[in-house]
């Protein structure tokens, strides 16, 4: 009995020892990882989780990726140490070398690197192929034209699959290699897309390179809503998409690791705690390549456990250390390990793990993700059986109204009076309460109608927005919208074509045009003869010539017309007898009676009242609206008088109508009246706001005048462009009329109403445009904001706001200046010329009278044979004593003294008085 028990124990012990001898308890596995790589850290973490027998013992070499010599040396070193399998990474430069060694030596290479097309069965590829899933998503979105940006570092298998499918289905694919792409070519790709109004782009790169490309996309402002990116990468959640989300771009990608699974989430948490107790730097999250590495260790552990259970001999025999032997000596047990690895069926961090006969993943599922406003959301999945399947958890169509009322929008604007201004006590206020103005109230009204919360943010660079011609980058408020720094721009932002290409505008809330601002000229003081201003100089000259011409014509027709001649008798026009004749002696009376009888027998004398002086006097009296004591008798003379009266009626009426305006308004003489005036001269400089729509208008204009103005502004030194509108206004005010500023008419009108009231708008608007509210391309706010603007316009609120901030708060009166100047009473300077003419006329009359007196006295002294002094004294005494009689109708009746009387000495004062009385 005891002998039997001993034999049985010996047999069992022999069986156990035999089994142990055929399969080792420790399995040496090699590792080829870059220095301090994420995959190596996960490899260590995975080994700590798989301590079952047989235990995996690592033989790790840190290698330089892309260095074939380093990779060869490490591979041969590990092979010489007797490793059973190797896990590690490769790249484009070393993949062929590794494939060659593995195939020749029958050493299995388990890798999380990008999958490749190879017939080498000893390469176990942990990463699933993405090309079929990518084609399924492209078909789901219905793309037929798109750009495919790829990196040859990760192979070309996905690109080849996409191009083959494109050839079958007539897709238009533009492929771009990001490795050879320069900054200029990168910009050109997006410029071509903008011209074609397309925005479908696929990016196929490893995570590190993909992060750099996405950063560049954000810098160039290509993360707007009009763009849709598909990231051909299995780590959608590994990528920082915060900046892309701000711009509202549509982002689709793939996710291999399902972090929502409790078992996976538990492993991820353990990873974060692994070997990190004393570290002050938080560990990075588990990336999908790390998850593949973890699954690779699990696959190897499972395979060797299966080999142990199957009691398969995998001991190293033969030439195990010569990897460079010629001919190569393959390891005989390598086939068994390769089969065991391919037959593994487990669930890992990357889902179901299964390989086909070529060592590639099969029967796997990839989640399809989209970037929602709240973050990444799963929108579907893809597998080999069902292909692409859409889930109902989130759809892109719901993005239009997602969270509209549940978030605070950033509203970018610019400090510009009267649109946005800081309150006087703004330092004591916070948020939107610090600001006031037209735009502040408009933004509040729109937010109230749309129903969202907002925060006003002043644009950092103080610009409206223009594209830099060198860098192609947008600045100002447009740049903040394009690059996702703001959600809405409520500001005096002009709607232009180049801006509309990158952002969306609402209907205009204000119409305007480019206008010219100049310093208000000094009011011209009225001249001494300002009463002549109602009629031009040429008209006054014509009136003078007309006056002379009419007088001459009247004189001529009066001479030729027989009806202007008439006989002169005592009853109608004969001069009465002089007083001296009445006191003559009877002898004299008889002689005179004889003379009168002789004259009466002769024919009467013919006279004509319209001599040249009377004609001038008649014309002057008619022109002055005063009339005259004589008038034409002939039909021809009356025709001349009639047309002259009609002429003077129109002239005097026109003069009177304009006289009030010219006397009561102090006129301003403006050196510039239009854009043509500016373009013709170079004395007055002119410019626009830098980086604004006005500058862009002149730069793009094809009108000759504006092209000439743009050439001048571009070449002017010093520069005529200003950074802000306030700077432009100050330059106008300080230039003493030597600088004109081109700006929107609304701002021009506002500044004209502000003190010191020294600017003015001249000429009409150069163009017609409007201000609009801007949103990023495809923003969900576009339609609600547009409807709100239309509603406010129909309610009249927009006009009400403009009147409030432009005119009700104006400081210069309704006319842009001091209104009391226009209604003030006439000053002496306004009518001084009239007084000068009056005084001059009186003085001239006195001078003429003195000349006439002297001339008459000289004539009398000669006739009376007296000295001139006696004649002047006699004439003076006669005129001062009232001697002589006045005539009628302005005519003076003179006395004819008889020759006998004329020879008498000058009569005494008493005699003169007597003669005067008897003459009456």
For the ranges 266-270, 642-646, 836-840, 904-908, the lowest mean pLDDT is seen at: 904-908
- 722: nearest Cα among 704, 702, 743: 743
Q: Which two tokens stand for residue 124?
A: 């176990």
CB 772, CB 798: distance < 8 Å: no
179 burial level (CB within 10 Å; 0-12, 13-18, 19+): exposed
Positive or negative, the Cα torsion across 534, 536, 542, 544? positive
790 dihedral zone (left: phi>0; alpha: psi -120 to 50; beta)? alpha
Across 593-619, average pLDDT: 67
Share of the chain above pLDDT 90, in %: 15
Across 393-413, average pLDDT: 59
CB 354, CB 383: distance < 8 Å: no
Rounded Cα–Cα distance for residues 170 and 147 (Å): 14
- 622: nearest Cα among 640, 607, 636: 640
Rounded Cα–Cα distance for residues 174 and 340 (Å): 43
Q: Residue 249 CA to chain centroid, in angstroms?
A: 23
Rounded Cα–Cα distance for residues 340 and 361 (Å): 15
Rg from Cα positions in the chain: 56
Reduced 3-state DSSP string for 330-383: CCCCHHHHHHHHHCCCEEECCEEECECCCCCECCCEEEEEEEECCEEEEEEEEE
pLDDT for 888: 38
pLDDT digits (tens, 9 = 90+) for 426-444: 888 888 899 999 999 999 9
What residues does 387 pair with on adjacent strands? Answer: 383
Across 354-379, average pLDDT: 87
Say whether pLDDT at 385 is over 50. yes
Rounded Cα–Cα distance for residues 596 and 577 (Å): 12
What is residue 719's three-state secondary structure? coil
pLDDT for 831: 58
Parallel, antiparallel, or unpaired: how do β-strands 453-458 and 408-413 relate?
Answer: parallel
CB 347, CB 267: distance < 8 Å: no
What residues does 453 pair with on adjacent strands? Answer: 408
pLDDT digits (tens, 9 = 90+) for 287-317: 999 999 999 999 989 988 888 888 776 666 5
CB atoms within 10 A of CB 153: 17
- 118: nearest Cα among 97, 139, 138: 97
Q: What is the residue whose two structure tokens read 């799963």?
A: 378
Total count of residues recorded for the chain? 920
For the ranges 412-426, 570-584, 708-722, 836-850, the lowest mean pLDDT is seen at: 570-584
pLDDT for 673: 84
CB 554, CB 640: distance < 8 Å: yes
pLDDT for 904: 38
Cα angle 674-697-772, degrees, rounded to a multiple of 5: 110
pLDDT digits (tens, 9 = 90+) for 16-71: 444 444 567 788 888 999 888 888 989 988 888 877 778 888 888 888 887 888 88
Please give the span between the terminal C-alpha atoms of the chain, in angstroms, as a whole number.
200
Rounded Cα–Cα distance for residues 361 and 341 (Å): 12
Say whether pLDDT at 669 is over 70. no
pLDDT for 282: 60
pLDDT for 668: 57
Rounded Cα–Cα distance for residues 403 and 781 (Å): 11
Tell which wins on pLDDT, 910 or 485.
485
Residues 6+ apart with CB under 8 A from 281: none
Q: How many CA atoms lie within 13 A of 121 on its CB side?
A: 14
Mean pLDDT across the chain, nearest whole number?
Answer: 78
pLDDT digits (tens, 9 = 90+) for 165-200: 888 889 998 888 888 777 778 878 877 777 777 788
Across 552-563, average pLDDT: 82
Q: Which two tokens stand for residue 849?
A: 């009278």
Q: How many CA atoms lie within 13 A of 473 on its CB side?
A: 11
Rounded Cα–Cα distance for residues 259 and 268 (Å): 8
Tell which wins on pLDDT, 539 or 839.
539
Q: How many CA atoms lie within 13 A of 143 on its CB side?
A: 25
Q: What is the residue whose two structure tokens read 């000259």?
A: 541
- 637: nearest Cα among 544, 561, 552, 545: 561
Reply yes or no: is the peptide bond before residue 482 cis, omega within 30 of 0.
no
Cα angle 890-896-899, degrees, rounded to a multiple of 5: 160
pLDDT for 786: 92
Q: Which two tokens stand for residue 264?
A: 């996976």
Reduced 3-state DSSP string for 599-647: HHHCCCCEEECCCHHHHHHHHHHHHCCCCCCCCCCCHHHHHHHHHHHHH
CB 450, CB 783: distance < 8 Å: no
Say whether pLDDT at 635 is over 50. yes
pLDDT digits (tens, 9 = 90+) for 759-796: 888 888 888 888 999 998 878 888 999 999 999 999 99
pLDDT digits (tens, 9 = 90+) for 682-713: 888 999 988 777 888 898 888 999 999 999 99
H or E, element range at 61: strand 55-63
CB 710, CB 698: distance < 8 Å: yes
pLDDT for 575: 44
What is residue 711's three-state secondary structure? helix
What distances in angstroms separate CA 76 from CA 32, 66, 95, 314, 332, one per listed residue? 11, 17, 15, 19, 17
pLDDT for 440: 94
Rounded Cα–Cα distance for residues 231 and 253 (Å): 5
Angle in degrees, 0-180, between the axes of helices 438-450 and 782-794, rounded to the nearest 10:
110
CB 85, CB 29: distance < 8 Å: yes
* pTM, 2 dp: 0.51
Q: Which two tokens stand for residue 251?
A: 């982002």
Q: What is the residue whose two structure tokens read 């005097």?
A: 652
Rounded Cα–Cα distance for residues 359 and 119 (Å): 9
Positive or negative, the Cα torsion across 835, 840, 841, 843? positive
Residues 6+ apart with CB under 8 A from 486: 410, 411, 412, 457, 477, 480
Tell which wins on pLDDT, 5 or 103.
103
Across 376-381, average pLDDT: 87
């Amino acid at each position: 009995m005891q002998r039997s028990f001993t034999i049985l124990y010996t047999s069992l012990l022999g069986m156990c020892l035999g089994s142990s001898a055929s399969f080792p308890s420790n399995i040496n596995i090699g590792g080829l990882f870059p220095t301090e790589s994420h995959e190596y850290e996960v490899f260590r973490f995975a080994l700590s989780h798989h301590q079952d027998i047989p235990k995996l013992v690592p033989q790790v070499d840190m290698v330089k990726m892309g260095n074939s010599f380093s990779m060869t040396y490490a591979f041969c070193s590990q092979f010489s140490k007797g490793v059973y399998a190797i896990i590690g990474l490769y790249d484009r430069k070393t993949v062929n070398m590794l494939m060659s060694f593995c195939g020749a030596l029958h050493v299995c290479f388990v890798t999380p690197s990008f999958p490749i097309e190879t017939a080498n069965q000893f390469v176990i590829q942990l990463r699933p192929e993405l090309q079929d899933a990518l084609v399924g998503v492209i078909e789901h979105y219905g793309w037929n034209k798109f750009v495919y940006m790829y990196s040859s570092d990760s192979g070309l298998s996905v690109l080849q699959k996409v191009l083959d499918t494109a050839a079958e289905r007539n897709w238009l694919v533009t492929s771009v290699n990001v490795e050879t792409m320069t900054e200029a070519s990168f910009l050109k790709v997006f410029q071509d897309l903008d011209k074609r109004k397309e925005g479908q782009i696929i990016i196929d790169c490893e995570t590190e390179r993909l992060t750099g490309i996405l950063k560049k996309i954000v810098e160039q402002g290509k993360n707007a809503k009009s763009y849709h990116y598909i990231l051909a990468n299995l780590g959608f959640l590994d990528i920082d998409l915060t900046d892309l989300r701000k711009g509202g771009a549509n982002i689709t990608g793939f996710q291999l690791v399902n972090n929502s699974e409790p078992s996976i989430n538990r492993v991820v948490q353990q990873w974060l705690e692994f070997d990190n107790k004393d570290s002050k730097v938080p560990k990075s999250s588990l990336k999908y390549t790390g998850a593949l590495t973890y699954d690779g260790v699990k696959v190897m552990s499972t395979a060797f456990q299966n080999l142990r259970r199957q009691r398969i001999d995998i001991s190293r025999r033969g030439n195990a250390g010569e990897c460079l032997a010629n001919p190569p000596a393959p390891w005989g047990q390598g086939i068994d390990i390769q089969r065991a690895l391919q037959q593994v069926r487990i669930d890992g961090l990357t889902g179901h793990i299964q390989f086909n006969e070529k060592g590639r993943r099969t029967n796997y599922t990839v989640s399809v993700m989209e970037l929602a406003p709240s973050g990444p959301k799963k929108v579907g999945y893809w597998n080999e059986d069902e292909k692409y399947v859409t889930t109902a958890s989130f759809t892109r169509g719901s993005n239009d109204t997602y969270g509209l009322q549940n978030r605070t929008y950033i509203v970018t604007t610019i400090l510009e009076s009267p649109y946005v201004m800081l309150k006087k006590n703004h330092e004591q206020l916070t948020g939107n309460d610090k600001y006031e103005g037209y735009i502040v109230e408009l933004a509040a009204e729109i937010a109230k109608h749309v129903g969202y919360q907002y925060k006003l943010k002043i644009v950092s660079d103080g610009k409206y927005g223009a594209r830099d011609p060198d860098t192609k980058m947008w600045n100002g408020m447009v740049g903040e919208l394009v690059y996702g720094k703001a959600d809405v721009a409520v500001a005096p932002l002009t709607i232009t074509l180049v801006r509309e290409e990158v952002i969306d505008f609402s209907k205009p809330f204000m119409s305007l045009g480019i206008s010219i601002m100049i310093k208000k000229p000094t009011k011209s003081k009225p001249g001494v003869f300002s009463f002549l201003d109602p009629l031009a100089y040429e008209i006054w000259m014509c009136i003078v010539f007309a006056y002379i011409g009419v007088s001459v014509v009247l004189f001529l027709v009066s001479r030729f017309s027989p009806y202007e001649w008439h006989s002169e008798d005592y009853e109608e026009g004969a001069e009465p007898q002089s007083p001296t004749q009445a006191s003559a002696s009877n002898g004299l009376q008889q002689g005179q009676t004889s003379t009168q009888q002789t004259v009466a027998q002769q024919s009467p004398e013919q006279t004509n009242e319209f001599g040249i002086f009377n004609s001038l006097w008649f014309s002057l009296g008619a022109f002055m609206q005063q009339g005259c004591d004589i008038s034409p008798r002939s039909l021809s003379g009356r025709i001349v008088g009639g047309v002259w009266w009609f002429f003077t009626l129109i002239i005097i009426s026109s003069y009177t109508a304009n006289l009030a305006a010219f006397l009561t308004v102090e006129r301003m003489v403006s050196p510039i009246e239009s854009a043509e005036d500016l373009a013709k001269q170079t004395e007055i400089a002119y410019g626009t706001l830098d980086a604004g729509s006005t500058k862009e208008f002149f730069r793009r204009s094809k009108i000759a005048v504006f092209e000439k103005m743009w050439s001048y502004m571009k070449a002017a030194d010093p520069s005529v462009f200003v950074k802000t509108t306030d700077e432009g206004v100050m330059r106008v005010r300080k230039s003493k009329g030597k600088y004109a500023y081109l700006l929107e008419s609304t701002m021009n009108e506002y500044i004209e109403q502000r003190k010191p009231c020294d600017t003015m708008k001249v000429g009409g608007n150069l163009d017609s445009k409007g201000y609009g509210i801007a949103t990023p391309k495809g923003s969900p706010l576009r339609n609600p904001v547009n409807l709100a603007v239309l509603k406010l316009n129909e309610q009249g609120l927009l006009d009400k706001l403009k009147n409030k901030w432009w005119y009700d708060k104006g400081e210069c009166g309704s006319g842009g200046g001091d209104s009391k100047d226009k209604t003030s009473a006439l000053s002496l300077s306004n009518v001084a010329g009239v007084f000068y003419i009056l005084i001059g006329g009186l003085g001239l009359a006195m001078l003429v009278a003195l000349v006439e007196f002297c001339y008459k006295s000289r004539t009398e002294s000669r006739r009376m044979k007296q000295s001139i002094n006696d004649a002047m004294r006699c004439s003076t005494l006669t005129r001062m004593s009232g001697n002589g009689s006045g005539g009628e109708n302005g005519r003076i009746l003179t006395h004819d003294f008889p020759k006998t009387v004329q020879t008498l000495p000058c009569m005494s004062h008493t005699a003169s008085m007597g003669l005067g009385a008897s003459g009456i």
